[in-house]
Amino acid sequence: MGPATLNPIFLIIISVAITAIALVYSIIHRDQSRLTRRWVFLLSLPGLIMVAGFYSFAARMHSALGGWPDSIGTEELPKNLLLHDGIQSWMFFVTFLVALLIPLVLALFSLVPRLRTRLIYPAFFGSACWLCLFATQLAPKGFLYWFWD
């Protein structure tokens, strides 16, 4: 394996592609599984909670500081925002890690015949995680600059 295969962008692209292919496959070849509104809600909930935490932290930060931070790091943040920062950072990390590793779960579901008919559930969950992670990139530029550095 060369350095290109360990590139984070390459791993993200591969994970998104595998997840999307599994979702399309499971929608086309739906046998017994039925994705009800309840399942759509439950499978989307972790990603939606992460997005809500992300944007509520951005709003609280902007309100508390009167704008976006001038420096990188949490030194400028009031103490009441540090807990929110820790929680939303943890949620973002867990959602990203789950989304990145979901192809392993999809491989397991596709290899085990009894699970193959239920492939739509992890495929939808992974797709929801990736969509929510991509939705965070719509945040204001000043917040994203602070968040990623």
| Cα angle: 6, vertex 12, 17; to 5 degrees | 120
Average pLDDT, the chain: 91
For 91-135, write each residue's pLDDT tens digit.
Answer: 999 999 999 999 999 999 999 999 988 999 999 999 999 999 999
Q: What is the pTM of this model?
A: 0.89
**What's the gap between Cα 70 and its chain centre?**
27
Confidence of residue 31 (pLDDT cuts 50, 70, 90): low
Whether the predicted pLDDT of 68 surpasses 60: yes
Confidence of residue 54 (pLDDT cuts 50, 70, 90): very high
